[in-house]
Amino acid sequence: MADLKTLEQARELINQCMKCGNCQAVCPLYAETMHEGAVARGKIRLAVDVLEGKLQPSHAVLDKFALCLTCKACEANCPCGVHCVDIILQARAQLAEKVGLPFIKQTIFRGLKLRRLFNLGLKVGANFQAVALKSRREGKGRTMRFPVMGMDMRRVIPDLATTHSRDMFDEYNPAHSGKGKVRAAFFTGCVNNLIYNDTCKAIVEVLRANDVDVIVPKEQHCCGAPVFINGDRNIGRDMARHNLEVFTAADEKYNLDYVFMACGTCVCSFAEHYTHLLHDEPKYLAMAEKLAKKTTDVNPLVIKVGGLQKPLGKVEHVVTYHDSCHLARSMKVTAEPREIMKAIPGIRFVEMKDAARCCGGAGSFSLTHYDLSKQITTKKAENIRSTGATLATTGCPGCRMTIEDGLAQSNVKIDTVHPVALLYESYKNSGVIKG
């Protein structure tokens, strides 16, 4: 397949696979479907068959590659260190270019690309959400009244924040002391921006209490991951270029020490994906590489700036933590969130079974494969429930949404928060931050 040039380049990765099948042991989708086509080994074979012309590119093949959570459990368990997800993403991109994405995804992604329209649309959506969504009797969240963008009607979606997170802050939010020692720009990501303004508020305040000047660039847009992970590289590249320009401008203006996120997927975009996506555009590649070096998840940042050295007030909760796939396996952030929570007096931390197993959300996967996604989420909800925790935490808003859905569907009444939000509570209780 001459025109699948970049998949051809993935050949080297493909060759490293010795077909041992070890990935079966950990792939959440294999556990649910028991189909060889759902696990890395099968998908690698599909890539080979497409490369060798034994399979014609088609929507059916693309659908098979869509059947992946990009959770990287397979990579972590692969004795040969095969970059399975890279191969799968490469195949999605090549096939999408060749046969086009399914109509529904195209529509969503085009909408995502137009930042203003996208934000405005969701703002209007927040005010009128009662029209489209009916409130569930118990607990938070709403179920869909009619299917929007191919979402499944049964899905519980958190209330859209009526105030977008980014609107709560100025561009420049000085350290509380007035003597900022560190300058860090916050890439909120869309889920945090649109839904979890509690997380954003807590994070900005905790950092400001630790002599950090927090910059919130106003023109930032969705990181693009939902788009390029599904194979639409062109729109993905547009979004990447836009964010790189916005944050490079912020860097030039404020001389940033860090760019930070509170979303596993967003961190990966800045830390890894942008340099790959724009590898052939020197101007943007330079920006991407410079920003990648400054990129960090908020949990390690909070510890680095001395966040645990402050007087900590009591927060009475039994807490468990879910490792976001991207945060844990791509960014290797697993210890820091736990360290934060264990440092807070009053918190009893309990590990759940399979904490690092995918929650089943995986961005738009949960929209396109709701039933399969739900089966995986139900297991996660059960693992959370059986810890006896009163609060479930995770470092990724995507996971948080999925877990809230899973807990609601299983009738488990446990709230979810970001670990740093607990530190914020603790600061309020000790008086570090005036509540």
Partner 1 sequence: MSVQQAIREVEALLGKERVLTTVEDLACYSFDGTADAPSQRPDAVIMPKSTEEVQAIMKIASKYKTPVYPRGAGTNLSGGTIPLKGGLVVTFQMMNKILEVDSENLTATVQPGVIIASLNTAVAPYGLIYPPDPGTVSTATMAGSTAECSGGLRGLKYGVTKHYIMGMEVVLANGEKFRAGGKTVKNVTAYDLVKLFTGSEGTLGIITELIVKLIPAPEAKKSMLAIFSDLDDAGKTIAGIIAAKVIPATLEIMDKTTIETVEAFAKAGLPTDAEAVLLIEVDGIPEVVEKEAQAVVEVCKRFNGKVQVARDDAEREKLWAARRAALPALARKSPTTVLEDATVPRSRIPEMLRAIRAIAKKYDLLIGTFGHAGDGNLHPTILCDEHNQEQMKRVHKAVDEIFRVAVDMGGTLSGEHGIGMAKMKYLEWELGATGVDVLRRIKEALDPDYLLNPGKMVAGRS
Binding track, positions 210-229, relative to ligand SF4; x by CB under 6 A: ------------xx-xx---
Among 37, 102, 174, 346, binds partner 1 (CB under 8 A): 37
Among 46, 51, 71, 333, the residue binding ligand SF4 under the rule CB under 6 A is 71
Pick the closer one to partner 1 by CB: 54 or 136: 54
φ and ψ at residue 152, rounded to 5 degrees: -85, 140
Residue 80 binding ligand SF4, by CB under 6 A: yes
Question: How far, in Å, CA of 251 to CA of 295, rounded?
Answer: 12
Q: Rule CB under 6 A: say whether 160 interacts with ligand SF4.
A: no
Q: What percentage of the chain's residues is helix, strand, coil (to nearest 5)?
A: 55, 10, 35
User: Whole-angstrom Cα distance, residue 234 to residue 3?
Assistant: 17
Query: Exposure of 255 by Cβ count < 10 A (0-12 exposed, 13-18 middle, 19+ buried)?
Result: exposed
| Residue 42 interacts with, from ligand SF4, partner 1, none (CB under 5-8 Å by kind) | partner 1
Q: Does 64 bind partner 1 (CB under 8 A)?
A: yes
Closest CA to 356 of 391, 321, 331: 321
15 counts as binding partner 1 under rule CB under 8 A: yes
SS3 of residue 264 by DSSP: helix
Residue closest to 264 by CA, chosen among 141, 402, 425:
402
Pairwise CA distance, residues 307 & 291, whole Å: 23
Nearer to partner 1, 35 or 253 (CB): 35
Nearest to partner 1 of 58, 162 (CB atom): 58
Rounded CA-CA distance 217/185 in Å is: 7
Q: How many CB atoms lie within 10 A of CB 422?
A: 24
Measured distance CA(361)–CA(259) in Å, rounded:
25
Q: Which range binds partner 1 by CB under 8 A, 78-86, 178-186, 206-214, 341-349?
A: 78-86
Q: Tell me the closest approach of the beta carbon of residue 39 to partner 1, in angstroms.
A: 9
Please select the residue that binds partner 1; options are 9, 34, 131, 283, rule is CB under 8 A.
34
Binding segment for ligand SF4 (CB under 6 A), chosen from 81-89, 122-130, 197-205, 281-289, is: 81-89
| Residue 14 Cβ vs partner 1, minimum distance, rounded to whole Å | 9
* Site mask for ligand SF4 (CB under 6 A), range 102-131, x = bound: ------------------------------
Binding segment toward partner 1, per CB under 8 A, in 55-63, 372-380, 401-409, 424-432: 55-63
Residue 262 binds to ligand SF4 (criterion: CB under 6 A): no
36 binds partner 1 (CB under 8 A): yes
Q: Residue 362: which residues within 8 A CB-CB, separation 6 or more? A: 69, 70, 71, 325, 373, 398
Q: Is 277 in the site for ligand SF4 (CB under 6 A)?
A: no
| Contact pick of 3, 6, 9, 18 for partner 1 (by CB under 8 A) | 18
Contacting ligand SF4 (CB under 6 A), which of 13, 14, 46, 74? 74
Q: What's the CA gap between 53 and 68, in Å, rounded?
A: 23
The residue from 3, 11, 15, 18 that contacts ligand SF4 (CB under 6 A) is 18
- Residue 94, number of CB atoms within 10 A of its CB: 26
Tokens standing for 201?
């508020």
Amino acid sitting at position 320: T
Between 269 and 368, whose beta carbon lies closer to partner 1? Answer: 368
Nearest partner of 319 among 198, 181, 420, judged by Cα: 420
Q: Which window, 5-13, 35-43, 308-316, 416-424, contacts ligand SF4 (CB under 6 A)?
A: 35-43
Binding segment (CB under 8 A) for partner 1, from list 37-45, 163-171, 193-201, 299-307: 37-45
Q: Are 13 and 37 in contact (CB under 8 A)?
A: no
Residue from 6, 53, 80, 332 touching partner 1 (CB under 8 A): that is 80
Token pair, residue 39, equals 């696990």
Q: How many residues bind partner 1 (CB under 8 A)?
A: 26
Amino acid at 274: Y
Contacts of 160 (CB under 8 A, 6+ apart): 122, 125, 126, 129, 194, 195
What whole-number distance in Å separates Cα of residue 327 and Cα of residue 330?
6
**Total number of residues that touch ligand SF4 (CB under 6 A):** 39
Widest CA span of the chain, in angstroms? 67
Q: Which residues bind partner 1 (CB under 8 A)?
A: 15-16, 18-22, 24-25, 34-37, 42, 45-46, 49, 54-55, 60-61, 63-64, 79-81
Q: Which residues bind ligand SF4 (CB under 6 A)?
A: 17-23, 26-29, 39-41, 44, 68-74, 78, 80, 82, 84-85, 189-191, 222-223, 225-226, 263, 265-266, 397-398
